[in-house]
Structure 1
Amino acid sequence: MNTPNPHLSGAIEAPVAMGTAPYISPDYAREEKERLWLKVWQVACREEEIPKVGDYYTYEILDQSVIVTRTAEDEFTAYHNACRHRGRRLTKGCGHATHFHCPYHGWQWSLSGENTHVLDREDWSGALDEARLRLRQVKTGRWGGFVFVNFDPDCVRLEEFLQEVPYWLGAFETDKMRYKWRQWLRMDCNWKVAVEAFIEGYHATTTHPQISRYGSSKVGSSSEGLHGRLFQMGAAGGGIGTGVNAKDEIDIREIPYLGLKQAQETVWSNTSDTFVEAARLLPELLPEDVSSIEVSMKLMEVACQLDAERGVEWPKVDPQHMALVGINWHLFPNTVLLPNVTFCLGFRMRPDGFNPDSSIMEVFALERYPEGQEPKTEWEHKPDQTGDSWPLLIKQDFRNLAEQQAGMHSVSLDGLTPNPVQEAGVINFQRNLAAYMDREPPALLLPAEG
């Protein structure tokens, strides 16, 4: 774990202008393969997706394919998904194997990557040595229940890459959460357009007007090295379900239930049934003259008790840590997590081949369950962006992405100008991306002379 820093990075950036080439250029999209995707740590799967020795998950990024397999009870190994004979891929999707078998000519490998069979090996007159026959490994790392891969054999350790993420998010023990649901679709936008929609809160007032009714919708953004963080800019205890909007005459004890019920119905995550039930009980448990802080504390107390009764143990998160951690974290380059004590909403965006105007978006909800009672889930393809396949809040985001991508092709654009306070995470993302891509970082936006 990284050494904790009691002070998170500053939230305010200088105004900048950003070019559109990273979002629309075919050449840039192709260059990302060598400079970014073959060099960076990236989430491949969750440990729970390959729970038994011999289980495997096929991870794909651009034209590269990786077999991630559990090789021992507490060990994961990744291999390039290509037969050492003539290149045929060995696996597709998820499955279980006692060995890896090439359906083309029958070559085989053990789970440890050693070749165990070559048909008529003597035909090579001894030229096929063990080093040539072994499956080529891809670097692996684990954190928070996620399995990461890196194609670069000389990469930094995952712990170094994650910087302070394990300190701030490790308290939530996402490794003890399990999938509640998970689904994916193709989007008519660049993968970075999709990422950036979920690492800034500046759009919330306009795109998600319902949010501000039960809490502050103004969200600040800060850079955290390679990564980024969002935090509520309202009063202490503000946010969906706990904040107070002064223009509404609502009993402060009822606001958590109204907000959390809204999250349950419009996000399908960012809360749990336990939290909703705990919030429903608050008016019976608290006096009328209670403060918002007392409401928040009672909500957590009751929810913890209800979860304990059903066999769900909460992580021990210090209240000060909870206050500082923020509500949303961007793990560079393409993963976004919204963690809490018993649940987490997550996103992973990937390029759709080398087409800069298309991407693959995966959305998942994690939750703590009594041992053995987690639901069985699979990745479900949900291409319909307008029906009941997606929660309202995410559909509201969908409406912007293809239109933004199309608009970025306009010859009138002489630079994108993200909000330096509420979209600082976007600036930080593009600054770090520029470093990987060996490009100039976003340029300072100076006032016009005169």
Structure 2
Amino acid sequence: MAQIDAINYQEILDLDSCTPPAALRERSVPDLGTEPFSVDRYTDQDFFDRSIERMWLKTWQMACREEEIPNVGDYINYDIVGKSLIIVRSAPGEFKALHNSCLHRGRKLVTEPGHAASFRCPFHGFTWKRDGSFLRNPVAWDFPHCKPSEFGLPEAKLARWGGFIFVNFDQDAAPLEQYLDPIPRHFARWNLENKYIAVHVKKAAKCNWSITLEAFLEPYHSTATHPQIIPFMADANAQFDVYSPHVTRHIGARGFQSPQVAREYTQQEIAEALIGPGSRIYSVLGGNVDTRLPDGVSARSYTATLLRKLLAEETGIDHSEVSDTELFDDLMYIVFPNFCVFGGFGKNFVFRFLPRGKKHDESTMEVYFLKTVPKGQDRPSAAKMNEVPDDQPWGSAAELGNLGPVLDQDWDNLPQTQEGLEASETGVVNYGHYLDLPIRRHQLTLDAYMRGDMPG
């Protein structure tokens, strides 16, 4: 399979100042072919409607983080394609995913996150315990046919990994650990259980959910869409791996320029773009950054040294043996259908993409920053979600730092992509052989679910 003639990620790892973990040396690059795909997956409401039963209700989906419901009785509602679940901490160390529909006349039991000793329907007062078992019927004399022992709220499957709570509407679904493999093994070193939500921002897009997701599954659009990152981001020479129909990986190295431009940047220029004013790392370091490189030191190595010091101060944990790549490279693992989680130390990004209701041409993206709980301290409260209004840019969410304007650049493409696909004369899209591997795998998996032959 052809790849660009430039330094690759494995060669970049060879230059690391510390030994990278073995997981980053693993390769899995199957040939998924070059066939085009029909545009109806993006443009057709009927295709989307069929995907609800065939795919959305048969896949594991991240519903929330444990720290969002820290106390017994805390709950959050997870709504997806017309279904609604109450994710509740029902007892110490126990969680339930209860269907959010009264068994009397169907009213939703809750509409906002909160805390409850029980779930009482606001319509007639039918009440269930936190574990879903039936508690009270205000007119029990008229319901002899509804036996309390058989009147518990139905549950979806629930499983946990890395501090995340996942749900699946399919009772016959394969175990989460099997579905996520090899992520639990690869992430063991990064200990996401010891993280908390420091930032949570959501925004809607006027396009199909897959269009929104796929804008983040490859980096080679940077030359046209994000020219400001060209000096320090290896894009077309990123690494892609496919581990299963449900898990792919995309790794992009920082501190190396894009190979798609002819100009050769000096290490000093790379350092100024990577850690200077306006950069993500500059904001992480609080603006207290000397961008002048010592003689003979690369921009990448210098940045890693700064971040090791910062993380040690922030967390009370020694990072002296942590590899450069784990400090600031994009180590993104993609879980079908709609979840992306970044490995490494420091601030871990999480992306979640959802259809907006049952509309095939509207979607949302959520961005989370996870930070390490400082050694010896209590876990901070999870940040409340900031939903950016449709008429405001990502950049209006100050907590995103310089990521906000980058997301706005992507947002400029999304509605035009939806409209362009609807106007397509050929009726197909053509993905790259290597650079679009995660996208191709995503759509092959979706097609398999649509045929009914993909194991849950």
Taking structure 2 as the reference length, what is the TM-score of the superposition?
Answer: 0.83
Q: Distance between the aligned counterparts of 1:315 and 1:83, measured in 2?
A: 51
Matched, 1:32 2:47: no
Equivalent pairs counted in the alignment come to 418
Tell me the equivalent position of 2:249: 229
Contact (CA 8 Å) 2:87, 2:96: kept in 1 or not?
yes
For residues 349-368 of structure 1, the aligned pairs below 5 Å read 349-368=353-372
Q: Does 1:384 align with 2:391?
A: yes
Structure-1 residue corresponding to 2:139: 120
1:10 is displaced (CA, Å) by 0.9
Distance 1:275 1:336 in 2: 27
1:230-272 CA distance string (max 9 Å, x none): 123xxxxx42xx22579455444x744631346xx46xx6786
- The alignment partner of 2:396 has SS state of coil
| Of 344-353 and 432-441, the range deviating more from structure 2 | 432-441
Aligned mate of 2:450, from 426, 429, 437: 437
Q: CA deviation at 1:27?
A: 0.8
In structure 2, distance between residues paired with 1:152 and 1:440: 15
The more displaced of 376-385 and 412-421 is: 376-385
1:273 and 2:284 matched: yes
How many angstroms does 1:53 deviate by?
0.6
Partner of residue 340 from structure 1, selected from 341, 344, 362: 344
Change in Cα spacing, 1:307 to 1:178, as seen in structure 2 (3 Å) is same
Alignment check: 8 A CA contact 1:77 1:140 kept? yes
Give CA-to-partner distance per residue, 1:289-317, whole Å, 9 cap, x none. Answer: 23x3xx64554344333332344436898
Structure 1 residues 272 and 341 mapped into 2: Cα distance closer, same or farther (>3 Å)? farther
Provide TM-score, normalisation by structure 1: 0.84
Write the deviation string for residues 176-221 of structure 1: whole angstroms up to 9, x where unpaired. Answer: 2222221212211000111111111121111111111123232343
Greater CA drift, 410-419 or 58-67: 410-419
CA distance in 2: counterparts of 1:249 and 1:397, whole angstroms:
25
SS in 2 for 1:156: coil
Q: Aligned equivalents of 1:36 and 1:15: distance in 2? A: 24
Query: Are 1:179 and 1:364, in contact at CA under 8 Å, matched by a contact in 2?
Result: yes
The reply on whether 1:20 has 2:20 as its aligned counterpart is no
Change (3 A) 1:229 1:36: same
Residue of structure 2 in register with 1:59 after alignment: 78
| Alpha carbons of structure 1 residues 161 and 31: separation in structure 2 relative to 1, 3 Å | same
- Residue of structure 2 aligned with 1:427, choices 440, 448, 452: 440
Change (3 A) 1:372 1:5: closer
Residue number in structure 1 paired with 2:209: 191
| Corresponding residue for residue 102 of structure 1 | 121
Aligned partners of 1:183 and 1:380 also within 8 Å? yes
Alignment partner of 2:273 out of 258, 268, 271: 258
User: Could you tell me which amino acid in structure 1 is paired with residue 447 of structure 2?
Assistant: A
Unpaired stretches in structure 2, ≥5 consecutive residues: 1-21, 398-403
Contact kept, 8 Å, 1:173 with 1:315, in 2: the verdict is no
Letter in 2 for 1:358: E
Of 405, 409, 428, the match for 2:418 = 405
Residue 210 of structure 1 aligns to a residue whose secondary structure is helix
Please, which moves more after superposition, 429-438 or 112-121?
112-121
- Distance verdict in 2 for CA 1:112–1:376, change over 3 Å: closer
Cα 1:243/1:170, change in 2 over 3 Å: same
- Pick one of 82, 85, 91 that aligns with 2:101: 82
CA distance in 2, matches of 1:176, 1:108: 35
Q: Which amino acid aligns with 1:429?
A: H
> Match for residue 417 of structure 1?
430
Separation in 1, partners of 2:165, 2:103 = 25
Q: Which amino acid aligns with 1:230?
A: H
2:229 paired residue number: 211
Contact 1:47-1:147 at 8 Å conserved across structures: yes
Structure 1 position 123, deviation (Å): 2.0
2-structure distance, mates of 1:140, 1:194: 26
Structure 1 unpaired stretches of 5+: 233-237, 442-450
Q: Is the 8 A contact 1:58 1:67 kept in 2?
A: yes
CA 1:310–1:379: 2 relative to 1, 3 Å:
closer
Offset, 1:375: 6.6
Q: Equivalent residue of 2:250, what SS?
A: strand
Provide the secondary structure at the position in 2 that maps to 1:137: coil
Which AA in structure 2 matches 1:273? V
2:199 to 168, 181, 184: 181
2:335 matches 1:331? yes
CA separation of 1:102 and 1:261: change in aligned 2, threshold 3 A = farther
Deviation readout 1:80-133 (Å, 9 max, x if unpaired): 0011211111111210011111111111111111111111212223x2223431
On the 8 A contact 2:76/2:88 being kept in 1, the answer is yes
**Which moves more between the two structures, 129-138 or 6-15?**
6-15
**In the aligned structure 2, how far is the partner of 1:317 from the partner of 1:138?**
42
